[in-house]
């Protein structure tokens, strides 16, 4: 069965520090991969996506993610975190031609001043 | 202009009541979705409609009935509300291009059943 694992429930980083949020997926076919961000009390905003091609994808707000097929991973990175990045981050894999998104359980990012 | 909008934003109601949540998208997309986010932030798809036709119907109690009057709208009606229905419900839409599409989410409707 398809699944997405985000092993870190919470991550705390200092403002200005680098960030990496982990995501591993289980899916037999070529995955369509997404990262969404949810600010407190808000909906989900798409950060970036991977469908094919270059395995390093750039997103909004300075985020990037790298698809590694050998590790079944799609980790999200940012070189320098801002206080406004504090939010919940969700990794998702699209199955059945992306009609259905399977979400991970989310990682809450806390930013220390 | 909001791309995917939901009403109401908050809904507090008693057990046993019937309620509806409305969703509208102005992106011209042909596919719409309902997701449920529980208290642990876990998001799970409930339904998906493509051109007003139901294409995904996950294991959801039949008290939940989606209705799509046109491509731009997908409403969710819930009968006989239960405490466990308390959650945040997100609507989303997408336009399938070949096998690839991106889903855009609404702001969510926070439902509390007392």
pLDDT in tens, B99-113: 567 889 999 999 999
Q: How confident is the model at residue A95 (pLDDT cuts 50, 70, 90)?
A: confident
Predicted confidence (pLDDT) per residue in A20-44, tens digit:
999 999 987 778 899 999 988 788 9
**Secondary structure, 3-state, chain A:** CCEEECCCCEEEEECCCCEEECCEEECCCCCEEEEEEECCCCCEEEEEEECCCCCEEECHHHCEEEEEHHHCEEEEEECCCCHHHCEEEEEEEEECCCCEEEECCCEEEEEEC
Give how far B99 is from chain A: nearest CA, Å. Answer: 5
Q: Do B96 and A100 touch (CB under 8 A)?
A: no
What is the rounded average pLDDT of the residues B45-55? Answer: 87
CB within 8 Å: A43 and B40: no
pLDDT: which is higher, A31 or A89: A89
Asked whether the predicted pLDDT for residue A96 surpasses 70, the reply is no
Q: Strand, helix or coil at B32?
A: strand
Question: Band of the pLDDT at A77, cuts 50, 70, 90?
Answer: very high
> Is B15:B113 a contact under the CB 8 Å cutoff?
yes
Q: What pLDDT shows up at residue A40?
A: 83
Rounded to the nearest angstrom, the minimum Cα separation between A84 and chain B is 18
Residue A98 has pLDDT above 60, yes or no: no
Least Cα separation, residue A66 to chain B (angstroms): 18
Mean pLDDT over residues A84-95, rounded? 93
Nearest CA in chain A to B103: A46
**Chain B residue with minimal CA distance to A52?**
B100
Q: Hey, what are A49's tokens?
A: 């996506």
The more confidently predicted of residues B41 and B81 is B81
């Amino acid at each position: 069965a398809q699944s997405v694992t985000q092993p870190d429930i919470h991550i705390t980083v200092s403002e200005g520090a680098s960030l990496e949020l982990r995501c591993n997926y289980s899916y037999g076919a070529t995955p369509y991969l997404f990262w969404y961000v949810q600010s407190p009390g808000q909906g989900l905003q798409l950060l970036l996506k991977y469908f094919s091609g270059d395995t390093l994808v750039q997103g909004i707000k300075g985020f990037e993610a790298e698809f590694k097929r050998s590790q079944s991973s799609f980790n999200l990175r940012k070189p320098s975190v801002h206080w406004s990045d504090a939010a919940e981050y969700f990794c998702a894999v699209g199955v059945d031609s992306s009609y259905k998104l399977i979400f991970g359980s989310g990682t809450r990012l806390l930013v220390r001043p | 202009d909001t791309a995917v909008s939901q009403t109401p934003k908050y809904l507090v109601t008693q057990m046993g009541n019937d309620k509806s949540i409305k969703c509208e998208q102005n992106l011209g997309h042909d596919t719409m979705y309902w997701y449920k986010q529980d208290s642990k932030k876990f998001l799970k798809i409930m339904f998906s409609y493509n051109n007003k036709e139901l294409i995904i119907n996950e294991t959801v109690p039949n008290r939940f009935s989606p209705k799509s009057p046109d491509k731009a709208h997908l409403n969710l009606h819930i009968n006989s509300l239960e405490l466990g229905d308390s959650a945040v419900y997100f609507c989303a839409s997408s336009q399938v291009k070949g096998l690839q599409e991106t889903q855009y989410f609404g702001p969510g409707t926070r439902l509390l059943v007392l």
